[in-house]
Amino acid sequence: MTLAAPPPSPRRSLGDDAFWAVLLLTLMLYACTLASPYELRVLTLAGCQALLVLGYQFIFGHAGALSLAQGAFFGLGAYATAILGTRYHWGFAATFPLSILTPLALSAVVALPVLRLASHYFALATLGLAQVALLLVVNAGDWTGGALGLTGVPGIALLGAAVPRGLPLAAVVWAVVAAGAWLSWRLTHGLTGTAYVVLRSDALAASATGLPQTRLRFCAFLLSAAYAGAAGALQAHTLGVVSSETLEFSVMVACLAMTVIGGSTRIAGALLGALLLTYLPEWLRFLQGYALLAYGVALLAMIILAPEGLAGILGRALAGRRRAAGLPPAAPVRLTGSRAATLEVRGLTKRFGGVLALDRVDLIIEPGEILGLIGPNGSGKTTLANVISGLVTPDAGAMRLGSRGLRGLSAEKIARAGIARGFQTPALPPSLSTLELVALARASAAGRIGFLASLLGRDSGERRRRFEAEALDLLGRVGLASEAERPCATLPPGLAGRVELARMLALDPGLIILDEPAAGLGEREQAELGATLREIAGRGIALLVIEHNMPFLLPTAHRIVVLDQGRVIAKGKPAEIRRDPAVIAAYLGRERLPA
Amino acid sequence: MLTILQLALNGLALGAAYALVALGFVLVLNATGAVNFAQGDLVMAGGYAAAALATALPVPGLALLPIVMGAMALLGIAVSALAYFPLMRRPATAVFVSTIAIGLVLQNAALSLFGPEPRTAPPIWDSEPIRWGGLTLSHQALAVIAVAALLVCGQGWLLARTRLGRSLRATAQDREMAAALGIPIHAMVALSFALAAALAGAAGALLANQFFVTPTAGGALILKAYIAVVIGGWGSLAGAVMGALLVGLFETVVAAEVSYTAASALLYAALLLILLVRPQGLFGEAAGRRA
């Protein structure tokens, strides 16, 4: 495939740069000239919190899962530093990496069972984990000093020289924060960051876009633990003491409040939230007991009124100056059909309670073939599509794509094997533009979604522009080139279906499953769609099309399979099906199929 | 033998109070698809309400209970208005966070109003314990079990036998369908919050006599109630009650024989294990679709 050199990638706006410059200068000026030793200590602690929040943004902000174990990971890092430093007198060069590794290892171990859980199951499982950690620390007194904790944690020593408390320590901690912020920006500013938007908005959309959901969630959880460990270690060095208070729920709640109030996905949000909520109690001393009350009220007000946090408000205020990047020229995508293979389904059976939804269904789809699937309502068509795409587990039967067995594979793995799926109600993430979505699917098919890819810059800059250029070509093929910048939420149903088709093509599939693609289309649009499907099949891609609309399907499909009450009652060429008495009886109540 | 009986009685009393918390949990979760993280703090608020009322009105706890529950129902409606309705169309995590914020507000309000010292509510029924052979039956434990049983049965009757209960269940099962049938779904959701808070308040008033109440007492309760619901499965009230009784018994017996810490640690470990192996609950039907 040949490509014109893509135009330069969009630059960050002047507003962003100005914000960072002002914030950094203010902090440095304050630290160097105005702050007393006490104030420097508060500033250093705010840095530890900023690092904690930067980590929490991965799992809570980007992956959208309420983890309540972040406080425990923080405490674990603090205790690792304290125990290794006070009992074994290890230096910073050894304790700091180990303080990161300890919570990282724990998160990797618990991720396997815990990350599978959704919604409140995940929240409460991580809360349970945090409670176990707290109980262990309080009761392993020999190691941890029990409820009293450990004192005399040594300071930081770099290259053999001790870093004195005060300004030098604050500088070291904030340097680590800067490194953490840079890494976080690097990992999330490209298409991988966009992938997380889809992941947290709609699981079905994420799976239809081919995103490696499990891996994305796993990496976010691990990173949040690693950042928390580093933050805990730095706080232990700053305070010189570690007690079981570090593991209490109040630390977790403070972290959550900072993340929500500052903004849960932006780096500026982590810094603003941590600084504000560390300093607020200092400023609100006159409120005394009511300061924490104000904290709760602020958290509630922010989650209701400004879900994007202070950074979101600030970002919108500055967005006016953002330079529009413009669309890249379309880059032609060659649909190779290279993953096309014969889909073979044998004896597929699925029961829902007492209802036999699928009854020993046999089906073969060859590469380049359009197979129409028809049948009365409730005959099992959508169930069959759900079973083939891995959304529903069959009770019996075999499925193979080429030589590969599909039964028992997750929807994610089946999608990656080359089976793309469209839905009756299109599963599109509302906030993304059609171009972003299709580019994301393209990057996903190329294996460029994930933290390793984003660390290496494979999902941003020029490479992102290339995915966008290909996406524009695919959108053009389904007649949507003019809607590239339109948010998915504003698309009427007919266009939404076409976006789904473009997204499926982006995944370079071997088999495409469509559920009533002609619904709601006018006659001319139906003819266009039919031609598009024929053209796709011409590239060697197989299509399974569920449809009620015979005037559309009969001329489009090569072969038709008829389901009734979960059983295949007929299969053959459209002309044969039209004359089949069993089909006419079951499907149309003894009327003739329309020509 | 006698100690075991006594322990069992105390365990059942504790479990009965947990059951009230767990039922409120299930009510709100089914009605909204979101967990009310302030449920434990509502129990704490109920305990303080009973303690504060007792200083003004020197009557037995049983007489205070309806007042506490009424006040808590109002608080429950306030919670739904602040923490649920503005966030209805947002992901469930937003409601988790808003109810955590409500919990924070309740805790610190209690701290400001009552101070950090533990308070105690009046006993349900004030009299000498019954002695029966060598067995001492505390009135309080029996009263807690009786009151909780009454409330649980009342709730079961409300949900199963009344028109209001059917509307509540319809709203929980399929909100759009319920709305299409003319059921005022917002009122039903608010009512679920009110009932949940009233039950939590009752639990608080019952627990605050034996166990005292402090501003942070709610934190552990939410996990215990959640464990009860996880054991029982999300669909059934009976399952949640069974789960709560099991948790109460287990905690009391293990705390007496080994230590309170061991009891808690084992319960949390059990939670993780059940979520891993059988997230739909031990006795459970399928987990709720919207959960």
Out of A289, A295, A307, the one facing B111 most closely (by C-beta) is A289
Cβ–Cβ gap A64/B91 under 8 Å: yes
B65-68 CB contacts, 8 Å cutoff, 24+ apart: B65/B124, B65/B147, B65/B202, B65/B205, B68/B201, B68/B202, B68/B204, B68/B205
pLDDT-derived band at A320 (thresholds 50, 70, 90) equals low
Which chain B residues contact residue A352 at CB under 8 A? none
In chain A, domain spans: 46-246, 343-432+493-588
Chain B closest-CA separation from residue A475 CA (Å): 30
Chain A closest-CA separation from residue B124 CA (Å): 32
- Report the range out of A116-125, A138-147, A540-549, B151-160 with the highest average pLDDT: A540-549
Residue with tokens 């910073």: A92
Between residues A165 and A68, which one has the greater pLDDT?
A68
Out of A132, A289, A295, the one facing B104 most closely (by C-beta) is A295
Q: Which residues pair with A544 in a beta bridge?
A: A371, A513
Q: Where are the beta strands (DSSP E) in A380-534?
A: 396-401, 404-405, 419-421, 511-515
Between residues B216 and A371, which one has the greater pLDDT?
A371
Q: Does A119 reach chain B within 8 Å, measured CB to CB?
A: yes
Cβ–Cβ gap B271/A125 under 8 Å: yes
**DSSP codes, chain B:** -HHHHHHHHHHHHHHHHHHHHHHHHHHHHHHHSS--TTHHHHHHHHHHHHHHHHHHS-S-HHHHHHHHHHHHHHHHHHHIIIIIGGGTTS-HHHHHHHHHHHHHHHHHHHHHHH-SS-B-PPPSS-SPPEEETTEEE-HHHHHHHHHHHHHHHHHHHHHHHSHHHHHHHHHHH-HHHHHHTT--HHHHHHHHHHHHHHHHHHHHHHHHHHH-B-TTTHHHHHHHHHHHHHHH-SS-HHHHHHHHHHHHHHHHHHHHHT-HHHHHHHHHHHHHHHHHH-TT-SS--SPPTT-
pLDDT-derived band at A10 (thresholds 50, 70, 90) equals very low
pLDDT digits (tens, 9 = 90+) for A573-582: 988 888 888 7
CA angle centred on B123, ends B117 and B125, rounded to 5°: 175
Between residues A320 and A207, which one has the greater pLDDT?
A207
Nearest to A117 by CA among A221, A266, A36: A221
| The pLDDT of residue B158 is above 90 | no
Residues 201-240 of B with CB under 8 A from A: 219, 223, 226, 230
pLDDT-derived band at A325 (thresholds 50, 70, 90) equals low
- Report the range out of A69-78, A529-538, B224-233 with the highest average pLDDT: A69-78
Cβ–Cβ gap B265/A135 under 8 Å: yes
Residues 6+ apart with CB under 8 A from A522: none
Q: Which residues pair with A396 in a beta bridge?
A: A349
- The letter for the amino acid at A49 is Q
Average pLDDT over residues B224-244: 83
DSSP class of A128: H
Between residues A553 and A113, which one has the greater pLDDT?
A553
Residues 6+ apart with CB under 8 A from A65: A59, A122, A123, A200, A217, A220, A221, B93
Cβ–Cβ gap B272/A114 under 8 Å: yes
Q: How many CB atoms lie within 10 A of CB B109?
A: 19
Q: With contact defined as beta carbons under 8 Å apart, do B241 and B198 qualify?
A: no
Which chain A residues contact residue B264 at CB under 8 A? 131, 135
What is the reported pLDDT for B235? 66
Range with the poorest average pLDDT among A494-508, B102-116, B203-217: B203-217
Cβ–Cβ gap B108/A119 under 8 Å: no
Chain B closest-CA separation from residue A119 CA (Å): 7
What is the reported pLDDT for A387? 92
| The pLDDT of residue B212 is above 70 | yes
Q: Which residue of A has its CA nearest to B266?
A: A132
Q: Which residue of A has its CA nearest to B222?
A: A124
Q: Tell me the C-alpha distance between A420 and A401, whole Å.
A: 13
Q: With contact defined as beta carbons under 8 Å apart, do A66 and A60 qualify?
A: yes
What is the reported pLDDT for A96? 95
Nearest to B141 by CA among B217, B212, B210: B210
Q: Tell me the C-alpha distance between A82 and A247, whole Å.
A: 14
What is the reported pLDDT for B277? 77
Which chain B residues contact residue A128 at CB under 8 A? 223, 268, 271-272
Range with the poorest average pLDDT among A13-22, A281-290, A418-427, B214-223: A13-22
Out of A117, A124, A300, the one facing B226 most closely (by C-beta) is A124
Substitution target in A56, A59, A66 with the highest count of B β-carbons within 10 Å is A66
Q: Does B78 reach chain A within 8 Å, measured CB to CB?
A: no
Q: Tell me the C-alpha distance between A212 and A447, whole Å.
A: 9
Q: What is the interface pTM, i.e. ipTM, of the complex?
A: 0.86
Q: Which residue of A has its CA nearest to B81?
A: A304
Residues 249-288 of A with CB under 8 A from B: 249, 253, 256-257, 260
Any idea of the CA torsion for A408, A411, A416, A419, to the nearest 10 degrees? 100
Which chain A residues contact residue B83 at CB under 8 A? 300
Which chain A residues contact residue B34 at CB under 8 A? 120
Q: C-alpha distances in angstroms, A422 versus A282, A300, A443, B17, B34?
A: 55, 39, 19, 49, 29
What is the reported pLDDT for A595? 45
Q: How many CB atoms lie within 10 A of CB B66?
A: 11
pLDDT digits (tens, 9 = 90+) for A430-469: 889 999 999 999 999 888 888 888 888 888 888 888 999 9
Q: Tell me the C-alpha distance between B109 and A589, whole Å.
A: 69
Out of B108, B223, B265, the one facing A293 most closely (by C-beta) is B108
Residue with tokens 């995940």: A122
* CATH architecture for residues A343-432+493-588: 3-Layer(aba) Sandwich (3.40)
What is the reported pLDDT for B287? 36
Cβ–Cβ gap A303/B98 under 8 Å: yes
DSSP class of A424: S
Q: H-helix or E-strand containing A366?
A: none
Q: Which residue of A has its CA nearest to B95?
A: A303
pLDDT digits (tens, 9 = 90+) for B109-130: 888 888 888 887 777 766 666 6
Cβ–Cβ gap B86/A304 under 8 Å: yes
Q: Tell me the C-alpha distance between A277 and A263, whole Å.
A: 13
Out of B102, B108, B291, the one facing A292 most closely (by C-beta) is B108
Q: In the structure encoding, which two tokens stand for residue A39, read together? A: 């104030």
Chain A closest-CA separation from residue B128 CA (Å): 37
Out of A117, A119, A125, the one facing B92 most closely (by C-beta) is A119
Q: Does B81 reach chain A within 8 Å, measured CB to CB?
A: no
What is the reported pLDDT for A587? 67
| The pLDDT of residue A321 is above 60 | no
Residues 97-156 of B with CB under 8 A from A: 97-98, 100-105, 107-109, 111-112
- The letter for the amino acid at B116 is P
Which chain B residues contact residue A123 at CB under 8 A? 35, 93, 96
> Please, what are the domains in chain B?
2-119+137-277 (1.10.3470)
Between residues A278 and B213, which one has the greater pLDDT?
A278
| The pLDDT of residue B221 is above 60 | yes
The chain-wide mean pLDDT, for chain A, equals 86
Which chain A residues contact residue B291 at CB under 8 A? 119-121
pLDDT-derived band at A411 (thresholds 50, 70, 90) equals confident
Cβ–Cβ gap B272/A249 under 8 Å: no
Chain A closest-CA separation from residue B169 CA (Å): 21
What is the reported pLDDT for A236? 95
Which chain A residues contact residue B268 at CB under 8 A? 128-129, 131-132, 135
Cβ–Cβ gap B269/A304 under 8 Å: no
Out of B35, B97, B102, the one facing A260 most closely (by C-beta) is B97
Q: Tell me the C-alpha distance between A293 and B109, whole Å.
A: 7
Average pLDDT over residues A108-128: 83
**DSSP codes, B144-198:** HHHHHHHHHHHHHHHHHHSHHHHHHHHHHH-HHHHHHTT--HHHHHHHHHHHHHH
